[in-house]
Chains A and B, each alone.
Chain A
Amino acid sequence: MSAAVIPVEQIKTITMSIYRYDPTVDKKPYMQDVVVEIPTDKDIMVLDALHLAKQQEPSLSYRRSCREGVCGSDGMNINGKNGLACVTPLSEVLKRDKITLRPMPGLPVVRDLIVDMKQFFDQLEKVKPYLITKSDSPDIERKQTPEDREELDGLYECILCGCCSTSCPSFWWNPDKFLGPAALLQSWRFIADSRDEATEERLDDLEDAFSLYRCHGIMNCVSVCPKGLNPTEAISNIRNKLLTREKA
């Protein structure tokens, strides 16, 4: 059996303008145009197009793993807007058969489309993204009513791709002091959890000028979240909690 050959009329060429930087060779990053042929009889994802580009430019580097929007590895800036390459249909972002890919803004570039996520995960670590309990463990499990469990919808789904925090101007200017939308969404995820017993301590940790209050409601985070989550609302919930709590 011969390999499938795509008829010529089902192919079109597109130009991918890609941010390139190899620290061992380049002094400065530059944009490189890669022309690739894509099928027209079906829609492919931006990540598929990147694979085609890599066949021509084997040194092209990017992170990817699950290729279905679950692992959160291939967050990047697609035509100016952050998103996951694997779940962004090419047809939605192609403009005159051209697409521009850059690394997520604000974080140091390791190489090409790969950024160093250390600052992002340092901020996540600060909100202690795990259940903290003080009471003795029950025999089987810590139970929750279905209503309490529902409080976590829209919070637990975060895959930590970094699209939101790296689209947030407040995070760009203060990546070490402002926690950023992703970490704050996780903070609210545990404050809102009926089983968590460290709510007061969590709130205390957020009560300074930068950690939480640097959010100015720009809402770029909500615009870009590939999972459709709403960090702005979570931040607002934390603020309300801080305002209404009775201090001991």
Chain B
Amino acid sequence: MTATLPRPAARAAAPAPPGTWRLALGGRSVLLDRRAALAATALAALVVVAVAVSLAVGTARLPLTHTLPAVFGSGSDREVLLVQRLRLPRVAAALAVGAALGTAGVLLQTLARNRLATPDTVGLNDGATAFAVASVVAVSTSISPSAFALVGAATAAALALGLAGGAGTHGYRFLVVGLGVGAALGAVTQLMLARAAIDDANAAFPWSVGSLNSRSATSVAVLAGGLAVALPVAVVLGRQLRLLRLADAVVVGLGTRVKRVRLAVIATAVVTAGLAVATAGPLGLVALLAPEIARKAAGPRVVPVFGAALAGALVVLLADLAGRTVAAPLELPAGLVTAVIGGPYLLWLLLATRSRRLA
């Protein structure tokens, strides 16, 4: 046996648990998981690189030394136009959409204690899509698709949760019911597109695959606002999120108000997924891939909300970049790229024999 530390020493120093940094000020203290912090830093660095490459690469290639000045308006008119007007908004949309989907994914997976529970699978994306498409083709209204998508995501969540009798002890049921709700709402979208006039259907097309091509600046701004609220909420929920991975009875025993935490988690997921879909349509499988990358990087101690947001931003940026360049001058929608990468991964996840519990 190792020698037991004398207790007074432990009391005086308050050594941080291994693998963490303790930031203390007065009586206040915050623990930072080292691996999670390093993972987030690395992902952030990769996002910065991906942003730089996205701004430089396209039908017209710019040297990296010209893109950064062009972001701030210096350089030739052509470069400024290309970077500021065309590429920057698209990159911003990719960042926000990816971050939102990654966040929604990690929240729903934790809530249902199942890696397969994402806004795609539990119907949130389908609900948001159906309502957004309805706002374009079926209803004549001045209300923005963002608002509609939000209502759609909330409707899908309410339906799935209501029919499954809560997400808690019935994580699996929530997932299966969500699949059904999603399928039904997806059919509604198809029906609306089939019956719509061809111009309306064209206008609604991005919502059926997921694309970042010329997305509305308003919806990106609304999404950024949503993220500005959702990410801090997720940080405040962080300690409770970790506990939610355990059995309900354990979580209650540790003094958490489980119902309240769940409600906050689902609301945050609805807002992020709904607004992301309103911006770029249902970008397939980003919400599945991003949390997985983040968890692998951040380790089992934390629920990496920030990591998942960063990984989501990275995945969407790269998918859009690939879509713009691989088959140029033809442009593939980013949703197609994520589906092509994510599909096989999803299959592997379903077929893998190893434990499917959240790692």
Whether A and B are associated in the same complex: the answer reads: no
Q: Which residues of A contact B (CB under 8 A)?
A: none
